[in-house]
Amino acid sequence: MGEMMDKVTVDHIRGFKGRERLPILTAYDYPMAKILDELEMPVMLVGDSLGMVVLGYPDTTEVTMADMLHHVRAVARAKPRGLIVADLPFGSYENVEAAVANSQRLREAGADAVKAEGGLEIAPQIKAILATGIPFMGHLGMLPQHIKEEGRYRVKGKIETERDLLLRDAALLDEIGAFAMVLELVKPELADSITKTVSCPTIGIGSGLSCDGQILVSHDLVGGFPWFTPRFVTPKLKVAALIKESIKEWQLEVRQTAETEGKA
């Protein structure tokens, strides 16, 4: 990654396939985007996961376009060299017209590309988005925007019908022209098969280590949301605990200063 000097393009990301593993993290605000840019992060995702770790929603289905636009603008103000990918939120790509209009709004807010969940069922929307010149990243496996239908987060591809559908959808996304695809909670053996059969990079999250890259929610990686950590994440830091310790120390300083001044 030392050679990353100019703005990353989707062609650069495609070029990682078979050459170098792709690390991707989420960014929801200006400071994190600046930090990731200084670390030469090739892609940063303004994910609808911000609904849980920033906005306090129970799941991603309550995230609105207004929420996404607000956070995309904040990330874009950092002018990162890495590719800014923005999630199309729940209900924003129900049909071709909505998918195109909302993708254009995210692009105008500063996103370089958009991401949406699904395969064959949203193929017309994906084709229409790509036809406008907006790059598209796919998302298969466990689809968080369908959590109310699913009832729980679970590994996909354990049964033959799921495996066949995932292989079909992965091939379809690749053929349509997705420049990369996220595989979330896909059985590792199946994620490996998909990775070997598609021409674009696969980005795993809870899908084993054989994907072309890995993506995590930044808060999960650094322990910034201690109330819930996915089973497949081992935090590298306990930043929430460090923040609490810093605040405690400051609180003590304030109280001690007040007591000292009172005695004087």
Own/partner pairs for 121-129, CB < 8 Å, 24+ apart?
122/93, 123/172, 123/176, 124/96, 125/93, 125/95, 125/96, 125/99, 125/100, 126/99, 126/173, 126/176, 126/178, 127/176, 128/96, 128/99, 128/100, 129/99, 129/100, 129/103
Residue 199 to residues 127, 177, 218: CA-CA distances in angstroms? Answer: 18, 10, 27
- Two structure tokens written together for 253: 């300083």
Confidence grade of residue 261 (pLDDT, cut at 50, 70, 90): low
3-class DSSP assignment, residue 140: strand
Give the whole-angstrom CA distance, residue 29 versus residue 99.
24
Q: What is the mean pLDDT of residues 153-172?
A: 93
Confidence grade of residue 262 (pLDDT, cut at 50, 70, 90): low
**Residues near 231 by Cβ (< 8 Å), separated by ≥ 6?**
206
Q: Which CATH number is 10-233's, of 3.30.230.30, 3.20.20.60, 3.30.360.10, 3.40.980.10?
A: 3.20.20.60
Mean pLDDT is lowest, of 5-14, 95-104, 217-226, for 5-14
For 41, which DSSP code? -
**Residues near 148 by Cβ (< 8 Å), separated by ≥ 6?**
59, 61
- Give 136's strand partners: 114
Residue type (1 letter), 211: C
Confidence grade of residue 117 (pLDDT, cut at 50, 70, 90): very high
Give the whole-angstrom CA distance, residue 128 versus residue 143.
21
CA proximity to 197, closest of 177, 169, 167: 167
Residue 125 to residues 95, 108, 143: CA-CA distances in angstroms? Answer: 6, 19, 17
State yes or no: pLDDT of 81 exceeds 80.
Answer: yes
Catalytic residue among 40, 117, 150, 184: 184
Q: What value does the mean pLDDT of the chain take?
A: 94
Mean pLDDT is lowest, of 43-52, 189-198, 248-257, for 248-257
Is 20 a known active-site residue? Answer: no
On the 0-12 / 13-18 / 19+ scale of CB atoms within 10 A, 72 is buried
pLDDT of residue 2: 46
Taking only the tens place, the pLDDT of each residue in 46-65 is: 999 999 999 999 999 999 99
All structural domains of the chain with their residue ranges: 10-233, 238-264
